[in-house]
Chain A
């Protein structure tokens, strides 16, 4: 890794004119010894494992290998198996559709809440912010358990409320985890519920910086509130919006805990995304070589998006 190999250059110095030149040698080495502990640790716990993951994906590592340590290279066989496995393509499709649905939901609601925050009374804004932070702070293991309880057949409060609406009929005993669409809906709500706070607060921070003169000018030109938002505010929000959207895509693509704890990928793999598919293959079926191949493909698909995110981050003015 670059940490240990990069030859350090002298530090940037604002040497006052006329002062004696600094002892250069010591400064050249300083960043090296400062970086190496973290660099070595990351090399061991992160870089080496990633390399090993790729290596494993070219072997037939399975449950037996865990005890005997014996496995063989099988070349591209794991990838051939994977790409001819319809379960993989279904998982990929589910992951993409689910990610799109979650990102769209959380970004649209987040934009709405952010705009709402600029238009309400200070005390009300305080209340909304606290509510957002609570939803955000809930560990996802806890929120998944709460979700199971909210949607529990028989005593779930959401089932009761929906029954009271008298639109969907009697939903008291509805088993959300038994129906693919309902399963998705409840997980979607859980993810969106926890994703909106970050998006809303980030966009709100950006929205407060929009220069009021522009909005006022647009109003004087006869623009309505919606036109002002679309033609002025939104134009300023664009860069921030892009960044939170990319981040949301990356996170939602990687969602695992909530699906695992709410539906375990069921019913009949209906909510099995790439992460769940990988986990079941590697740690339930113990086809570890195959699981590694899924992991590699999943990560590669994400890589393009990550690169796009970092490029945008740099362009938006983040000084690296």
Chain B
């Protein structure tokens, strides 16, 4: 993909003459998160001889600092995985073991055979799939309208979409709880999906719109000249072109719905209707509170799909974040 979603955090790449960059208050061009290991980006330009001489010491220093930083920052993840593979006797030791002496999958077996896991996994799957599908279908058409047409009120709608992203989830909790309680949707899939739509639809529209904007108008104009109507242009011409955006948006919506804890925790009071995050958070009490191995194995299982998806969409991460797709 050659184009990136407008990042929001410093968009509009200006690789023009360097005078533009002189104005300190001009937009900083930053079109996307750098791909891991992208080699561009080190300050170039200086003559290599002089720079290597001058930088020798700082480079060595910086690299060591980076090693220390990485070790500290990965530690919680490493410790989770480490604990997950330890037999129970090894996770509760007065001197922590930094590698499992007898690696085992027992903890994963415990987590998966835990009462409720499969039922709650199914709940999560149903709710997340329904949320993603609805968000994509509704969001696709709305994004098309907001990017391919100019009409009065368009700008206002864009601002409203951005603004509602910043609302605290907890603000929707009370009214949705009361409404769902009075119409019998509390504790049902439908209620949860509706609540998730409220949180993911605005950013879905925002992210997909960014992909639409990158497509030249000429393409659909050509199709229209050939006699295609708006519907055909949308489904036959534009949809395949924004497919990468649809995939990225689906992943964002998946992560948001998959990770939600507080809405499901508040709405789904029956244990058979828990979603996985609620199941995960209640894992402690189910297992006498001390099974850290099982808990960490469950955390690994729960985090795995999200980590995989993050790696897939890392190029679009910043744009999604600035629209509130993945809240910090």
Where the two chains meet, the residues of A that have a C-beta atom closer than 8 Å to any C-beta of B are 1-3, 5-14, 19, 22, 26-27, 30-32, 34-35, 37-39, 41-42, 44-46, 48-50, 52-53, 56, 61, 66, 69, 113, 116-147, 149-150, 152, 154-155, 157, 160, 172, 191, 193-196, 198, 201-202, 204-216, 219, 225, 235-240, 243-244, 247-248, 250-254, 256-257, 260-261, 275, 278-279, 282-283, 288, 291-292, 295, 298-299, 302, 305-307, 309-310, 313, 316-320
**A-B pair number, CB within 8 angstroms:** 414
Q: A122-B39, A128-B66 are in contact. Are A198 and B162 (CB under 8 A)?
A: no
Q: Could you tell me the dominant secondary structure of chain A's interface residues?
A: helix
> 7 new A-B pairs (CB below 8 Å) besides A61-B178, A201-B34?
A9-B151, A137-B310, A146-B76, A208-B34, A319-B6, A319-B11, A320-B155
Task: Report, nearest first, the 6 A-B pairs whose CB atoms are least far apart.
Answer: A6-B153, A208-B41, A212-B45, A126-B37, A34-B145, A49-B175
A2, A141, A288: most-surrounded residue (chain B CB, <10 A): A141
A128, A160, A238: which contacts B95 (Cβ < 8 A)?
A160
- Measured CB to CB, the closest approach of chain B to A59, in angstroms, equals 10
Q: Is the CB of B201 within 8 A of A38?
A: yes
Q: Does B306 contact A (CB under 8 A)?
A: yes
Instruction: Give the nearest-CB partner of A311 in chain B.
Output: B159
Q: A118-B43, A150-B79, A201-B34 are in contact. Are A30 and B149 (CB under 8 A)?
A: yes
Q: Is the CB of B70 within 8 A of A131?
A: yes
Q: Is the CB of B18 within 8 A of A211?
A: yes
* Count of chain B residues with a beta carbon within 8 Å of a chain A beta carbon: 140
A-contact bits for B77-98, CB 8 A (1 contact / 0 none): 1011001000000011111100
Instruction: Give the nearest-CB partner of B33 in chain A.
Output: A201
**8 Å CB contacts to A: which residues of B22-38?**
22, 24-34, 36-37
- Can you name 25 A-B pairs with beta carbons within 8 Å? A26-B230, A30-B149, A31-B154, A45-B195, A122-B39, A124-B63, A130-B36, A131-B74, A135-B76, A137-B310, A138-B76, A202-B30, A208-B30, A212-B43, A212-B44, A216-B46, A237-B28, A254-B168, A283-B173, A299-B168, A299-B171, A317-B11, A317-B12, A319-B11, A320-B154
Q: CA A149 – CA B29 in complex, angstroms?
A: 41
| Residues in B whose Cβ lies below 8 Å from that of A41 | 134, 138, 197, 201
